[in-house]
Structure 1
Amino acid sequence: MDRRAFLHKNAAVLAAPAAAITTDETVSRFANKKLPDTARSTAGLAPYSGPWGYAQAAHLLRRSLFGPTRTEIEGAASSSMQQVVDALLTAPAAPSPPVNVASTDASVPLGQPWVTQPFDQAVEGVRRSSLRAWWMGQMLNQSQSLAEKMTLFWHNHFVIELGDINDARYGYQYAALLRQQALGNIRQLAKDVTIDPAMLRYLNGNQSTATAPNENYGRELLELFTVGKGPLIGTGNYTNYTEDDVKAAARVLTGWRDNNQTISGYFTASRHDTGAKKFSAAFGSRTITARGDQEYKDLIDLIFDQPETARFLCRKLYRWFVYYVIDAATEQNVIQPMADLLIKSNYEVTPVLKSLLTSEHFYDPVNMGCVIKSPLDFTVTVCRQLQIAFPPATNAVAQYGMWDYLNSQTNLQQQYLGDPPNVAGWAAYYQTPQFYEIWINAVTLPRRNQFTDLMISTNGYSRNGAKLIIDPIALVQALPPAVASDPNKVIAELTKLMLPITLTSSQLEFLNDALLPGLPDFEWTQEWTAYVAAPTNATKKASVNTKLQALLRAIMGLAEYHLS
């Protein structure tokens, strides 16, 4: 498998006229025009019994966390795979809510939560920014748990857009629900999100009445959130549901509204369609009748009784954690067993994730280093792996300001936390044949490079009296002394941390030359030793710092750095 292919030029598009190239490109003109046909793994969900060391631990943590650190990877490598996965599947305590960091929100003191305050359109913008910043902070300060990666997964699955719902309090409650249920029961999460005020507002469920059922949520519930379409069998009708099923689901869901005083969904019987709702043969021709505010639960149960719902969900989990190509062997050996286990577990997601993350399939070399990092993963990884220091919680204004800055960077890279582009989520997880390649295009790749260049520069990024900057000397000082004084060992340690693929000898030579342009290896040993002996000497410090900046810039400029 050529994992660098996303940077290769496609001859079929090189001849395209210059006018076809736009500056707002979202899908690279060099991206796949068909799915890759490279042979995939035939391994299934049998427990992995191969070697367990740094490479396997790093692979597991790269897919499970945002930017695992050297300490986290080495700790995992020194434990057993089962111990690490069990820890990853342990939900952490719920975090404290976001706080006010804007002087314009006079109703809430600086540093205090705003999530239960009355809605105020005048400060909605700063509260929404606070929410996004807080969410970014959860990723940066994640525990060694899958909870944050799964919270983002559910956000991409049960989509809302903060900009559309226009109430940051609703957005916070939605985010808290996803985090609470991130490693829990999918069926229950589907029930809870159905009457969540953010979802009721986003997909117009709050407007749905017996005389005018709104079909938006019912349609997306079937098509995007649960069972999926399946092949088209007629106008508006699919193998897994029909247009009449959408209409019946909409009738079931009538009567629900959102209350912006209590920040909750509630049921109004007088607005509910009390008639019988009959579903097609795709759902066993079953009927939901006269259950009032409990009918939405019956609808979710009806959908989750369909085996295709489990398969649909497992395909999405697979594309999130493993790879986007699901060939016949993967469908048979991985997706179907995952779906069977999901059904057997009554839709508890943890047993399925444990089976996948401890499987032969997951650790097959073909599935390592084959995912292009999302903008969020890319940006948070830079910060966490390269140990960028952030302002403390005691200075919430500065801390949230830096988290807000990172959100602005991922937005430029075409992934804005809290606002997927539409109800289907980010296209990189569903749009065939490009999938992850969507993250890399003529707009986003320069933005990624500009961010890493700024972080490794002498200036970094300053705001509110604080600075974000990579300290390359601190990174190397954390290594054993015998490693830190050897240029090739330094390169080996940094590339092992930052890259999921072993480099070629010529690439390693290139990095050596970036560190020591035209100089012998002993030059680094002498300079580093001299610096360690006199760390306050500005000249000696600048000498090693400049060289390490050049090395890190070269590593982050490799195609492999965009892979996980």
Structure 2
Amino acid sequence: MKNPISVDLVSQFYKENVDLSKIEQSRASRTVVNLGLEPYTGTWGVAQKKHLLNRVLTGYSNRHLMDISSLNLSDSLDLIFKKDKIPSVPINDYDYEISKEETEKQGHYYIEPGKEYIFAPEPNGSPWPRHQSHDAWLFKNMIEQNTSIHWRMVFFLHNLLACGKGSVKMMYQHYKMLFDSSFESYKSIIYKVTIDPMMLDYLNLQQSQKFNPDENYAREIQELFTVGKGVNSKFTEEDVSEMARLLVGWQYFVPSKNEKFGPITNIFNAWNHDTGDKHFSAFYGNRVIKGRQGSDGMKELDDAIDMIFDTEECALYLSRRLYQFFCYPLINDTIEKNIISPMADLLRKNNFELMVPLKALLGSAHFFDNSFYNAMIKSPLEFGFGIIKEFEFNYINYELKSDIPLRYTSSPTKDFYKYRSLQWDLSNIGLNFTDPPSVSGWSAYYQAPVYDLFWINSDTVAKRANWGNGLGRWGKWIGNGDTKGGVHMQIDFSKFLTTLKNPSNIDDVISETIDRLMSVPISSAARLRIRSKVLEGVSSTYYTQMYQNHLISPTDETRSTISNRMTNLLGSLFQMGEIHLF
């Protein structure tokens, strides 16, 4: 399988010569929402539940709606803000893809099938299938998530604290750290990410020297991770230089990565630390952080974090980023006053635990104003994972039906094959999850005035439709048979129909499938066009009789007929712009 290729969404967007002034005018003309963080007390129906679930999950599906169907808003939020299950440790589920001999020939440490690999030494990195296995593990946990905000918070933190691809050991520790820290104080997260091995490597602290301090991380911890670069964020170039001096000395212990079993460990090299005082600007209250000798130099990082979080702008910036990710990208003066400032107050009063103001936002009258419903474009993650979540799959080899190797359908290897290609699928439509385009994350979450519109262009919208159509019509290729043909995961449409309320009525099937896959109401005319496409000239009575016969005596012919009808239905939905909104 090919390595995923990142799509440059920004350059593709601007190639289309979009009139940005029209985008700005359209978004500026939206009704100003004056509502604040006061609790929402309005209608609590399916539309409201979908709106909430769409914004807190890594892909919406009907099972999540069922989880809150009998709950009120308060109880729904309590469920959503409950920590998700702790993910199991990844194991070697990729052994069919690379032999022991080839692994060792490439200079990698071999791990036996079924054994944990994430703590194996990495003198020359890891074999490519091990990288694929890690990504498959990550995506499996997101797709099989409970009805919890936990994994979407991991996505939020990953975008805010963007870090490029590292070794398998590094990646596992990084994403596990984000998961474990999601409900903690953001101050604690900043400390952990500063000394995280993958971040140390990505933004060059690993190579920083006291006589020539590297300023990359010193800049980004301020400009991107904590206080931002808005008009009121007035840290200086001298602040960057002084922060770089303060951070010199932190590294990861290279032998713990390359030579030893176990996690990568941190070290603080006191000999490489600048022990002089660090002087910061008026933005930081002209703070002086006293230089320290020996291992006490580590304490300067705590002082620096306290200094940053003491600024007014830190809580405001973080509140804006939460709002833009979970509610809507545009922030005007009214929202700044009614939402951002109160969220910032909650942050400061609650030791910068992001979940506190976020829960207030997601239960607020402001969030449930109907102008925010279906007002954003799904990222490739919400689009793709939502579809995968909604269906169960059969396995088929079109050339030789009997040739479906057990590795595709049995533990411990089945999840590797089911999820490994999702990295390529997401990258193909604009989101290489483990390799963000820059330290700023994805442009859709910060770059005005386009924001989420970056996800869609003539190329990506066609690829989304093709991916969905292919999944519905042929299934998803997962690997070769042992003797002939390729094995595909094919949607089990018969099983899907049994989850609907009235599967023998084609109009009800169409309506409920639309409701499952889209949150946007569609017109009667659109429904009629879809109905015509699904029935292909036969009557609804014919469909009812065929389905009832299938229940009594299923045959390949009835299965094929059902599959064709449902494939036509999905194909119609993937041609609609509404399927990309949430």
Q: TM-score, normalised by structure 2?
A: 0.87
CA distance in 2, matches of 1:245, 1:178: 27
Match of 1:155 among 148, 151, 158: 158
Match of 1:80 among 72, 79, 82: 72
Other structure's SS at 1:52 match: coil
Other structure's SS at 1:479 match: coil
CA distance in 2, matches of 1:90, 1:281: 40
Report the Cα offset of residue 32 of structure 1.
5.5
Equivalent runs, 1:219-238 vs 2, <5 Å? 219-231=219-231
Which residue in 1 is equivalent to 2:543?
Answer: 524
Which residue in 1 is equivalent to 2:334?
Answer: 329
CA distance in 2, matches of 1:529, 1:264: 62
Other structure's SS at 2:146 match: coil
Which residue in 1 is equivalent to 2:490?
Answer: 469
CA distance in 1, matches of 2:417, 2:254: 28
Match of 2:463 among 447, 451, 460: 447
Other structure's SS at 1:25 match: helix
Equivalent runs, 1:55-94 vs 2, <5 Å? 55-94=47-86
Match of 1:128 among 128, 131, 138: 131
Report the Cα offset of residue 501 of structure 1.
1.1
Which residue in 2 is equivalent to 1:205?
Answer: 205
Identity %: 31
Instruction: Report if aligned partners of 1:23, 1:443 keep a CA contact under 8 Å in 2.
Output: no
The structure-2 alpha-carbon separation of the partners of 1:561 and 1:360, relative to structure 1 and needing over 3 Å to count, comes to: same
Other structure's SS at 2:67 match: helix
The structure-2 alpha-carbon separation of the partners of 1:124 and 1:275, relative to structure 1 and needing over 3 Å to count, comes to: farther
Which residue in 2 is equivalent to 1:497?
Answer: 516
The structure-2 alpha-carbon separation of the partners of 1:226 and 1:320, relative to structure 1 and needing over 3 Å to count, comes to: same
Report the Cα offset of residue 400 of structure 1.
1.1
Report the Cα offset of residue 76 of structure 1.
0.9
Which residue in 1 is equivalent to 2:113?
Answer: 110
What does the per-residue CA deviation read over 1:214-257, in whole Å, with 9 as the maximum and x for residues that have no partner?
Answer: 111010011000101223xxxxxx74211111111111101111
Code of the residue aligned with 2:388 in structure 1: it is: C
CA distance in 2, matches of 1:460, 1:214: 45
Which residue in 1 is equivalent to 2:244?
Answer: 250
Report the Cα offset of residue 463 of structure 1.
1.8
Which stretches in structure 2 are left out of the alignment for 5+ residues? 1-8, 105-109, 257-263, 396-406, 482-486
Report the Cα offset of residue 295 of structure 1.
0.6
What does the per-residue CA deviation read over 1:406-455, in whole Å, with 9 as the maximum and x for residues that have no partner?
Answer: 11111111211110011000111111111111111132122211211111
Which residue in 2 is equivalent to 1:269?
Answer: 270
Match of 1:511 among 520, 530, 538: 530
CA distance in 2, matches of 1:93, 1:521: 44
Report the Cα offset of residue 41 of structure 1.
2.2
Matching of residue 44 in structure 1 with residue 43 in structure 2? no
Code of the residue aligned with 1:259 in structure 2: it is: F
Report the Cα offset of residue 518 of structure 1.
3.6
Report the Cα offset of residue 183 of structure 1.
2.2
CA distance in 1, matches of 2:408, 2:373: 35
Instruction: Report if aligned partners of 1:477, 1:484 keep a CA contact under 8 Å in 2.
Output: yes
CA distance in 2, matches of 1:24, 1:214: 30
Which residue in 2 is equivalent to 1:381?
Answer: 386
CA distance in 2, matches of 1:122, 1:324: 38
Other structure's SS at 2:116 match: coil
Which residue in 2 is equivalent to 1:11?
Answer: none
Instruction: Report if aligned partners of 2:408, 2:417 keep a CA contact under 8 Å in 1.
Output: no
Equivalent runs, 1:293-372 vs 2, <5 Å? 293-372=298-377
Report the Cα offset of residue 303 of structure 1.
0.5
Code of the residue aligned with 2:561 in structure 1: it is: S
Other structure's SS at 1:300 match: helix
Code of the residue aligned with 1:274 in structure 2: it is: T
Bigger shift: residues 278-287 or 107-116: 107-116
Other structure's SS at 1:467 match: strand
Report the Cα offset of residue 523 of structure 1.
3.0
Instruction: Report if aligned partners of 1:54, 1:74 keep a CA contact under 8 Å in 2.
Output: no
Instruction: Report if aligned partners of 1:186, 1:347 keep a CA contact under 8 Å in 2.
Output: yes
Which residue in 2 is equivalent to 1:288?
Answer: 289
Which residue in 2 is equivalent to 1:16?
Answer: none
Which stretches in structure 1 are left out of the alignment for 5+ residues? 1-21, 232-237
CA RMSD of aligned residues (A): 2.1
Bigger shift: residues 273-282 or 33-42: 33-42
Instruction: Report if aligned partners of 2:469, 2:570 keep a CA contact under 8 Å in 1.
Output: no
Code of the residue aligned with 2:249 in structure 1: it is: G
Instruction: Report if aligned partners of 2:328, 2:372 keep a CA contact under 8 Å in 1.
Output: yes
Which residue in 1 is equivalent to 2:398?
Answer: none
The structure-2 alpha-carbon separation of the partners of 1:320 and 1:530, relative to structure 1 and needing over 3 Å to count, comes to: same
Instruction: Report if aligned partners of 2:394, 2:492 keep a CA contact under 8 Å in 1.
Output: no
Report the Cα offset of residue 532 of structure 1.
2.0
Report the Cα offset of residue 24 of structure 1.
7.5
Match of 1:425 among 431, 441, 446: 441
Match of 1:545 among 559, 563, 566: 563
Which residue in 2 is equivalent to 1:479?
Answer: 500
Report the Cα offset of residue 43 of structure 1.
1.5
Match of 1:96 among 78, 88, 93: 88
CA distance in 2, matches of 1:78, 1:119: 50
Other structure's SS at 1:173 match: helix
Bigger shift: residues 122-131 or 468-477: 122-131
Match of 2:235 among 231, 234, 241: 241
Instruction: Report if aligned partners of 2:20, 2:449 keep a CA contact under 8 Å in 1.
Output: yes
The structure-2 alpha-carbon separation of the partners of 1:387 and 1:31, relative to structure 1 and needing over 3 Å to count, comes to: farther
Match of 2:253 among 230, 242, 259: 259
Report the Cα offset of residue 207 of structure 1.
1.8
Which residue in 1 is equivalent to 2:178?
Answer: 178
Q: TM-score, normalised by structure 1?
A: 0.90
CA distance in 2, matches of 1:380, 1:131: 17
Bigger shift: residues 28-37 or 334-343: 28-37
Matching of residue 195 in structure 1 with residue 182 in structure 2? no
The structure-2 alpha-carbon separation of the partners of 1:527 and 1:463, relative to structure 1 and needing over 3 Å to count, comes to: same
Report the Cα offset of residue 314 of structure 1.
1.2
Instruction: Report if aligned partners of 2:233, 2:313 keep a CA contact under 8 Å in 1.
Output: no
Which residue in 1 is equivalent to 2:20?
Answer: 33
Other structure's SS at 1:340 match: helix
Code of the residue aligned with 1:261 in structure 2: it is: P
